[in-house]
Amino acid sequence: MEKKTALVTGASKGIGRAIALVLAKDGYHIIVNCRKDGPDAQAALAGIAKAGGSAELLCFDVAKKESTEIVAAWLEKNGPLYALINNAGIRADSLLVWMKDEDWHGVIDTNLTGFYNITRPVIKEMLLQRKGRVVNIASTAGQAGIPGQVNYSAAKAGLIGATKALAAEVGKRGITVNAVTPGFIATAMLDGLPIDEIKKRIPAGRLGTPEEVAAVVSFLCSSSAGYITGAVIPVNGGIYM
């Protein structure tokens, strides 16, 4: 059987790396995306190889349209993807009254416009092959709203809305589109936050792990999840219900 290919954006570390690794173990050939090559990207590739999987590196910035043109070029040369994981994301926290223009646009462009830049060329090829999986990594912040994260909450809420609308558009072509909403996951994205205080607010009493998020993505990309689309699946320890 021909090996299926999955593109994971922001796959050099954190949740993205965990997703890339579990999908490689599931038998996918992985396109590891990051903005530029470096130690983190090489570590992600090495981890996949050590696990017996296959991967390649594709460097581009999801927020920049001209940078993402490499995706269309890859598809033209290699054919359609089976799975797309829109994981790339950034934070730039500040109360709205003090938020800088560049922090608003930077977060929106990466977390939401990045979805558009990548998904549009990929979904065209999926429609032609009449199958595929799109999983968007949103956030609890897009459901509940987090003070100091108006930009991040807006972007992730928009991603949830885009997930539902796209699922309705492409469902008849055998393509599923779902969102996963991590809560507080133990990655560098939490740097600078009051972790001990946060844990007190989580019913599970702890932070989540990247592997717990990756396990849900693995299921959504499997054949067992063919009747699940337009769903928003929380991985948040109960902090938002």
What is the amino acid identity at position 171?
G
Marked catalytic residue, from 28, 152, 227, 240: 152
* pLDDT mean across residues, the chain: 97
Q: Give the 3-state secondary structure of residue 51.
A: coil
The pLDDT of residue 88? 97
E strand map for 9-53: 29-34
Sequence-distant (6+) residues with CB within 8 A of 72 are 121
The pLDDT of residue 189? 86
Question: Which of 181, 185, 226 lies closest to 202, judged by CA?
Answer: 185
Strand order of the β-sheet with 132-137 is 54-59, 29-34, 5-8, 83-86, 132-137, 175-182, 232-235
CATH 3.40.50.720 fits 5-235, yes or no: yes
User: Are the C-beta atoms of residues 219 and 166 closer than 8 Å to each other?
Assistant: no
Question: Which of 176, 61, 168 lies closest to 114, judged by CA?
Answer: 61
The pLDDT of residue 183? 97
User: Are the C-beta atoms of residues 133 and 176 closer than 8 Å to each other?
Assistant: yes
Taking the C-alpha atoms of residue 82 and residue 129, their distance in angstroms, rounded to an integer, is 9
Q: Sketch the domain layout of the chain as residue ranges.
A: 5-235
The pLDDT of residue 48? 98
User: Are the C-beta atoms of residues 127 and 173 closer than 8 Å to each other?
Assistant: yes
Over the stretch 10-58, which tens digit does the pLDDT of each residue have? 999 999 999 999 999 999 999 999 999 999 999 999 999 999 999 999 9
Helices 14-25 and 210-220: angle between axes, nearest 10 degrees: 50
User: Are the C-beta atoms of residues 95 and 148 closer than 8 Å to each other?
Assistant: yes
Cα radius of gyration rounded to whole Å, the chain:
17
Burial class of residue 179 in the structure, from the number of CB atoms within 10 Å of its CB (0-12 exposed, 13-18 middle, 19+ buried): buried
The pLDDT of residue 1? 53
Place of tokens 């054949």: 223
pLDDT over 90, % of the chain: 95
Q: Is 82 a catalytic residue?
A: no
